[in-house]
Chain A
């Protein structure tokens, strides 16, 4: 159990376009989802925390107008990178908090989305 999917797994786009990444919890309800970014050889960096039905909470230094997060349901959160630029190229990973009772603080990660902006 506790499977999280992400789509797409790879994106290559031109500078200036917007890219939407979906994160789904497949077999459990996740009231909280997290979006991370990881640059090569660096640690995961939390971008924002997404709670179903409310506005996302962004970490310091993350532009909320550039990285739009929508947590539309208990199983789906989306991250839209608006007007992407080459410096946005990164590995984006979502995670969902939840699962069976007693493990609700555990985060289950999606497989990640590699974004390359040309």
Chain B
């Protein structure tokens, strides 16, 4: 089983839609969780950290479920500019950071 698993997609949604991604992880010792966004042929950029209590940043909501070992990202009111690959990233401590393969999102007009 992979340490981090994401549905590769692609998710094709119309503008204004709400879309959610999940990411499951296998290492229960994982300590920190993040969502990164990567545009085509560019470097990943931090989108948001994921806290146990859940956190929201504008149209983006991230949640962590330690019992079921998954994190989620919800995007509301999708914009064309949200089209990108979303990477689930976790840190298991000791400088061990693991990236998911990413979920591709296409938002269409």
Q: State the A residues within 8 Å of B (CB).
A: 32, 34, 42-44, 46, 49, 57, 91, 93, 97, 103, 105-112
Contacts and interface: CB of A to CB of B under 8 A. Distances in A.
B41 A91 contact: yes
A109 B49 CA distance: 15
Which of A57, A93, A106 has the most chain B CB atoms closer than 10 A to its own CB? A106
Given A43-B101, A105-B32, A97 B95 contact: yes
A107 B101 contact: no
Contacts of B9: none
Nearest to B104: A41
B95 A109 contact: no
Which of A44, A49, A57, A106 has the most chain B CB atoms closer than 10 A to its own CB? A44
Contact of B44 (A42, A44, A49, A97): A44
B91 interface: yes
A14 B44 CA distance: 28
Interface of B: 31-32, 34, 41-46, 49, 87, 89, 91, 95, 97, 99-102
Contacts, number: 39
Given A34-B95, A111-B43, 5 more contacts: A46-B97, A105-B32, A106-B34, A107-B89, A112-B43
Given A109-B45, A111-B43, A112-B42, A42 B101 contact: yes
13 contacts: A34-B95, A43-B87, A43-B99, A43-B100, A44-B44, A57-B95, A93-B43, A93-B44, A97-B95, A107-B46, A108-B46, A109-B45, A111-B43
Contacts of A57: 95
Given A34-B97, A105-B91, A107-B97, A43 B102 contact: yes
A44 B99 contact: yes
B20 to A, nearest CB: 21
